[in-house]
Amino acid sequence: MALFAAPIAEQIWDMKYRLKDPTGQPVDATVEDTWRRVARDLARVEADPAMWEDRFQAALRDFRFLPAGRILAGAGTGRSVTLFNCFVMGTIRDSMAGIFDALKEAALTMQQGGGIGYDFSTLRPRGAAVQGVAADASGPLSFMDVWDSMCRTIMSAGSRRGAMMATMRCDHPDIADFIAAKQDSTRLRMFNLSVLVTDAFMQAVREDASWDLVFGGQVFRTVRAGDLWDQIMRATYDYAEPGVIFIDRINQQNNLHYAETISATNPCGEQPLPPYGACLLGSVNLARLVGDPFTPQARLDMAELDDLVRVAVRMMDNVVDVSRFPLPEQAAEAQAKRRIGLGVTGLADALLMLGLRYGSPDAVDWTRAVTRAIARSAYLASADLAREKGAFPLFDRDAFLASAFMGRMDADVREAVARHGIRNALLTSIAPTGTISLYAGNVSSGIEPVFAPAYTRRVLQKDGSVTHEEVVDYAVRLWRDLHGEAPFPDHFVNAQTLAPQDHVAMQAAAQEWVDSSISKTINCPPDISFDAFKDVYLLAWDLGCKGCTTYRPNDVTGSVLSVGEASRPEPPASGTGLSMAEPLGRPATLEGATYKLRWPVSEHAIYITINDVVQDGRRRPFEIFINSKNMEHFAWTVALTRMISAVFRRGGDVSFVVEELKAVFDPRGGAWMEGRYVPSILAAIGGVIERHMIAIGFLAAEGLGLKSDPRADLADDTERPLGPACPNCGQYGMRMNEGCMICPSCGHSKCG
């Protein structure tokens, strides 16, 4: 197979990981240059940099080891970015100063490209007394809104918006509001939400017992545990959130149980972390390690796996020393514990090559054996590093060996750790690998099943024409290379055909030998009953998972990518649904309204006039005029007037204009307006247009506009996948995978 096994792989590399100068000219001429750049940077802390540079590059070659995207994009560039993917921030102190200190730290972290996680359980509930000011607390949800506004304004490194995770304990008095928060389609869109579920709560659910909601030692009220559990389940059944984190299990299994208490995770959940903890991620590509695929002799090369894991551990350990950190507290935490998260990708493809059906008992046993082998190799490699470079500073031999995870480890590994210590407190994690899996040739992502054998990707060419590419799963492409169009064997299953129990079984098998956690989405059919849906979570609990995230396509959350649909679906409509082929003609007289917009950092106000036309009995925007006495605004206001008016006159649902404008942020900073943070003057104009559309009945409420132009993808009758439109490329087909919405067309991913 070619170096880039699919055109999308090269496009992802060029767009996300290839080093370019400030003018956009490539510095990395080939992907080998990218590998060399990364290898050289991570080897510079070694006593023999030249030798380790060669070994590191060999691990990267052929996409066998895949460091996380921030490492590929940032290592060796000289840019002031962090190579760590995500952080859990410090504990939020329950005071106004503490809250806004934490908000500032979050902004600084996201500015450098890090996603963040927070536990909001430390904030007093809504209605609780605030001493000294004769007022009641507004509650944690109100401050989460402030975080959400902040996140909207900050574009993290690599053109990727920041992602956030918010957690809340199942015994917090505001837990019901937390569970229901994202059922409002305009609220907390930058957050993933997860409930911290304790062992005591699960026991109360099983026993149909009562459950106290407590803060600061005070019982605010008592509920039935089963009712609260049903609220969580009903919300995720209908809205795909919140997720569930089994927090006591996480702390009991933690190698650092003696040195930290965990109450939050990074945005996708694969890294439960203490305050100021950071996740450093990388994945071994199992699909590249299978010899003689699709034959009776097919096998995973265990010797190559062992060597690759050992080199990867050393590379990732070096990242701790070469990376920048947004905050000194994060650097100190990383240096004190040196935790890394080495995982896998391409597991489902490897199963296909080996003749194993995903979710079958044989596949479950194989997954358990491979993750155990990886854990053994990683822990032995880290013990060797401790002998050479020293153990992590907070290493306590007796306490470390007494952890539940180390209690399962083989005797020779425990002996090595007892003798030499260990360099990294935690070593394994299975992270979302959506984009790097595309970069590696569209291998199956993480431990997820193959989503679909193939799909069609629409590609806009430089001359404006459109071509269509077939994007084929890595293992499927290999099958075709070897067997042509021969029918697929029976074990060629995908996410559309698997039962939820198959997903859970695979997650639990991997979790047994992953010391951190796993990012995985359990796909459920849309017609699954509510009781059967709840059983999925109970099964995850019973089998030892540390958390559970499901996705059930429905009218509220939308559908994941569908394959093979013969008819083209209509785009979602939030406005009038009208669609005209020709621009509307202008009547002699129009009704409209003029709005005065005072941008706080501008000398003069902006006046926005929007005129409407009545079409088929409905009122809709027809034209806009934007005026200001500030001559600095003249050129762009004229251009914006002409462009938006031209779009309005096309007809159809033009509400996407609102969302496009509201998404624009100014790197110089936005402004607070009417109690909310607006990221730019263009976003403020978008808000005015939105309010006008609501006033005339074109939009039902704030935040309900289309996210992209619905006509942009209707130029021909080509079959198109179902699913939400991508905010980056505009194509439909976004799918939920490993806790993230991922675009199969351009590789854009959004967590939150």
In this predicted model, which residue has the larger pLDDT, 517 or 613?
Answer: 517
Q: According to the model, what pLDDT value does residue 458 have?
A: 67
**pTM for this one?**
0.78
Q: What is the pLDDT of residues 308-341, one digit of tens each?
A: 999 999 999 999 999 999 999 999 999 999 999 9
State the Cα–Cα distance between residues 13 and 436, nearest whole angstrom.
9
Average pLDDT over residues 400-425: 97
State the Cα–Cα distance between residues 21 and 502, nearest whole angstrom.
47
Q: According to the model, what pLDDT value does residue 388 have?
A: 98
3-state DSSP assignment of residue 626: strand
Average pLDDT over residues 514-518: 97
Q: Is the peptide bond before 242 cis (omega within 30 degrees of 0)?
A: yes
State the Cα–Cα distance between residues 556 and 253, nearest whole angstrom.
36
State the Cα–Cα distance between residues 128 and 137, nearest whole angstrom.
5
Percentage of the chain with pLDDT > 90? Answer: 62
Average pLDDT over residues 493-508: 94
State the Cα–Cα distance between residues 664 and 712, nearest whole angstrom.
20
Q: Are strands 281-285 and 341-345 parallel, antiparallel or unpaired?
A: parallel
Confidence of residue 163 (pLDDT cuts 50, 70, 90): confident
Tell me, what amino acid is at 742?
Answer: I
| Of 432, 478, 442, 563, the residue nearest 8 (C-alpha) | 442
3-state DSSP assignment of residue 666: coil
Contacts with 288 (C-beta within 8 Å, 6 or more apart), sequence order: 62, 63, 64, 346, 440
Q: According to the model, what pLDDT value does residue 2 have?
A: 53
Confidence of residue 156 (pLDDT cuts 50, 70, 90): very low
633 pLDDT exceeds 80? no
Confidence of residue 629 (pLDDT cuts 50, 70, 90): confident
Q: What are 194's two structure tokens?
A: 């997860």
Confidence of residue 243 (pLDDT cuts 50, 70, 90): very high
Q: According to the model, what pLDDT value does residue 115 have?
A: 83
Average pLDDT over residues 671-698: 86
In this predicted model, which residue has the larger pLDDT, 34 or 585?
Answer: 34
Q: What are 322's two structure tokens?
A: 């070469």
Count of helix runs (H) and strand runs (E) in the chain: 24, 32
Q: According to the model, what pLDDT value does residue 528 have?
A: 95
653 pLDDT exceeds 90? no
748 pLDDT exceeds 70? no
Q: Are 731 and 743 within 8 A, CB to CB?
A: yes
577 pLDDT exceeds 50? no
The sheet that has 618-628: what strands, in order across it? 591-597, 606-615, 618-628
Q: What is the pLDDT of residues 371-411, one digit of tens each?
A: 999 999 999 999 999 999 999 999 999 999 999 999 999 99
Q: What are 348's two structure tokens?
A: 């489902």
Q: According to the model, what pLDDT value does residue 752 have?
A: 42
What does residue 292 show for φ and ψ, rounded to 5 degrees?
Answer: 50, 55
The string of DSSP codes covering 723-734 is SPBPTTT--B--
Q: According to the model, what pLDDT value does residue 718 have?
A: 41
Confidence of residue 739 (pLDDT cuts 50, 70, 90): low
Q: What is the pLDDT of residues 80-101, one digit of tens each?
A: 888 998 899 999 999 999 999 9
State the Cα–Cα distance between residues 177 and 74, nearest whole angstrom.
39
Q: What is the pLDDT of residues 717-726, one digit of tens each?
A: 444 445 665 6
**Chain centroid offset of residue 183 CA:** 19
Q: What is the pLDDT of residues 547-568, one digit of tens each?
A: 999 998 866 555 444 444 333 3
State the Cα–Cα distance between residues 279 and 85, nearest whole angstrom.
6
The string of DSSP codes covering 567-607 is SPPPPP-SS-----SSPPPPPS--EEEEEEE--TTSSS-EE
List of E strands, 346-488: 454-460, 466-472
Q: Are strands 65-67 and 281-285 parallel, antiparallel or unpaired?
A: antiparallel
Q: According to the model, what pLDDT value does residue 464 have?
A: 57
Tell me the pLDDT of the chain averaged across its residues: 87
Residues tagged active-site? 266, 268, 270
Q: According to the model, what pLDDT value does residue 189 have?
A: 84
Average pLDDT over residues 616-624: 83
Q: Are strands 86-88 and 115-119 parallel, antiparallel or unpaired?
A: parallel
Q: According to the model, what pLDDT value does residue 726 have?
A: 63
State the Cα–Cα distance between residues 53 and 619, nearest whole angstrom.
65
Q: According to the model, what pLDDT value does residue 203 have?
A: 97
What does residue 276 show for φ and ψ, rounded to 5 degrees?
Answer: 70, 15
| Of 530, 211, 220, 499, the residue nearest 357 (C-alpha) | 499
Q: According to the model, what pLDDT value does residue 724 have?
A: 61
In this predicted model, which residue has the larger pLDDT, 681 or 180?
Answer: 180
Contacts with 304 (C-beta within 8 Å, 6 or more apart), sequence order: 289
State the Cα–Cα distance between residues 440 and 648, nearest whole angstrom.
42
Q: What is the pLDDT of residues 232-241, one digit of tens each?
A: 999 999 998 9
Tell me, what amino acid is at 489?
Answer: P
